[in-house]
Amino acid sequence: MLLPIYLKLNNKEVLVVGGGSVAQRKIEILLKTGANITVISPDITDDLLSMVKSGKINWENRKISDNEDYNKYYLIFAATNDSKINNDIKSVSEEFNIPVNAVDDPENCDFFIPSIYNRGDLIISVSTSGKSPSLAKNLRIFFEEFFNDNLLRILDELSSKREELLVKSNSGNNNVSILNKLALNKILDLLDKISIDEIKEKLIKKGA
């Protein structure tokens, strides 16, 4: 069983080894976290080069070397198209106790990046433990298409209600019961407005 956690990566040093489209997808996610991202690769995509020129990421134009490349990083992503290099990265990183995500290689991953639905303060992540990224993708599309900003509105309402109850009462158990019931009713009201046929149509269109 995996332990789902949300890491605070703001100003943390993160290494991405590889400069292709797979590495780019990981970097696009990492940029939203405020991490300090370094890419080590002899080649990178045009989009990544634009990120380098704008100062969003750092790029070292070379192949990864041995131990000196590892000890300053908080997380490492092995995103090359060479399984031997990815395996070597995993082996060396273990010596420094640095978690590694080896892209498309679940057996060599210490952690997985889930499919993420994010609206404001609301973050919903879906993971299949690396077994079926396509299922995770379609579940994320479901949230994006059919809940959209409605969940964020519900979150704001529940947050306000929670603050109101905390001010008025010290009865924690009673507050939890009230908020649980309110949250359930909000979700049920939202589900009543969703058309099953519309769900099928949009999932087929966007999930393919």
Domain containing residue 96: CATH number: 3.40.50.720
**pLDDT, position 170:** 61
**pLDDT, position 34:** 95
**pLDDT, position 114:** 80
Please return the burial class of 39, using the count of CB atoms within 10 Å of its CB with bins 0-12, 13-18 and 19+. buried
Domain membership flag for residue 38: yes
Look-up of token digits 């970097």 = 27
pLDDT tens for 133-179 read 788 888 888 777 777 677 788 888 888 888 888 777 666 667 788 88
Question: Would you state the structure tokens that stand for residue 114, as one six-digit string?
Answer: 């889930």
Regions in the chain scoring below 50 on pLDDT: none
- What SS3 class is residue 188? helix
**Domain match, 38 and 84 both:** yes
Cβ-count burial 58-67 (b if 16+ within 10 Å, e if not): ebeeeebeee
**pLDDT, position 19:** 95
Domain membership flag for residue 127: no
**Domain match, 144 and 66 both:** no
**Domain match, 148 and 109 both:** no
**pLDDT, position 208:** 56
Beta strands 75-78 and 100-102: pairing type?
Answer: parallel
Domain membership flag for residue 65: yes
Cβ-count burial 136-163 (b if 16+ within 10 Å, e if not): bebbbbbbebbbeebbebbbeeeeeebe
- Judge whether 191 and 130 are in contact, CB under 8 Å: no
Q: Tell me phi and psi for residue 105, to 5 degrees.
A: -140, 75
Domain membership flag for residue 51: yes
Q: Which of 113, 143, 168 is the last residue of a domain?
A: 113
**Domain match, 49 and 81 both:** yes
Range of the domain at 162: 133-207
Beta strands 100-102 and 58-60: pairing type?
Answer: unpaired
**pLDDT, position 106:** 81
Task: Count the domains in the chain.
Answer: 2
**Domain match, 137 and 108 both:** no
**pLDDT, position 154:** 85
